[in-house]
């Protein structure tokens, strides 16, 4: 198990090595970097990129640290929307296509908070399992109640 601080250090290296893809931090780890109170600790690394390709010889194929292997892909070739990599410890790095505007927070390129909220809303409605849909919905409820002073 990795701490969020350790995950953030790995994410910084991944973002730096994928600058050519305009890589930005996303997901719960981005919330941690922003100092936002969240429902659960980050357990993986989400990276938002302007371009992805599943051809390992292409410059658009994302770089990962040694020990990570491609786990699965959503889409193919020039229409890749997500690529997941995993290491022997179970750490996942997910690269997702997105046209988010980059914001530098604590010297780390990050995606837009509003865009992340929109993605979580879509996942809470359309993700594969009801467990995953509920996880994203619980994240959003906690985020709004504990950070934006909304009362339920």
Please write down the HEC assignment for all residues of 48-95. EECCCCCCCCCCCCCCCCCCCEEEEEECCHHHCCEEEEECCCCCEEEE
At 123 the pLDDT is 86
Tokens of 101: 């505007």
* Full-model pTM: 0.90
Residue range 62-111, pLDDT digits in tens: 999 999 999 999 877 667 889 999 999 999 999 999 888 889 999 999 99
CA-atom Rg of the chain in angstroms: 15
Answer yes or no: is pLDDT of 147 > 90: no
């Amino acid at each position: 198990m990795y701490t969020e601080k350790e995950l953030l250090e790995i994410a910084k290296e991944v973002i730096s090595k994928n600058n050519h893809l305009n890589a930005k931090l996303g997901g719960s780890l981005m919330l941690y970097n922003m100092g936002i109170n969240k429902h659960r600790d980050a357990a993986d690394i989400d990276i938002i990129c302007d371009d992805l390709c599943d051809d390992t010889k292409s410059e658009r194929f994302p770089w990962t640290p040694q020990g990570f292997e491609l786990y699965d892909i959503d889409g193919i070739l020039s229409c890749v929307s997500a690529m997941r990599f995993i290491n022997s410890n179970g750490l996942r790095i997910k690269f997702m296509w997105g046209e988010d505007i980059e914001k530098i927070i604590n010297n780390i390129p990050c995606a837009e908070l509003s865009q992340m909220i929109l993605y979580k809303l879509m996942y809470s409605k359309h993700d594969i399992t009801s467990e995953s849909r509920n996880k994203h919905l619980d994240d959003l409820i906690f985020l709004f109640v504990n950070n934006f002073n909304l009362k339920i």
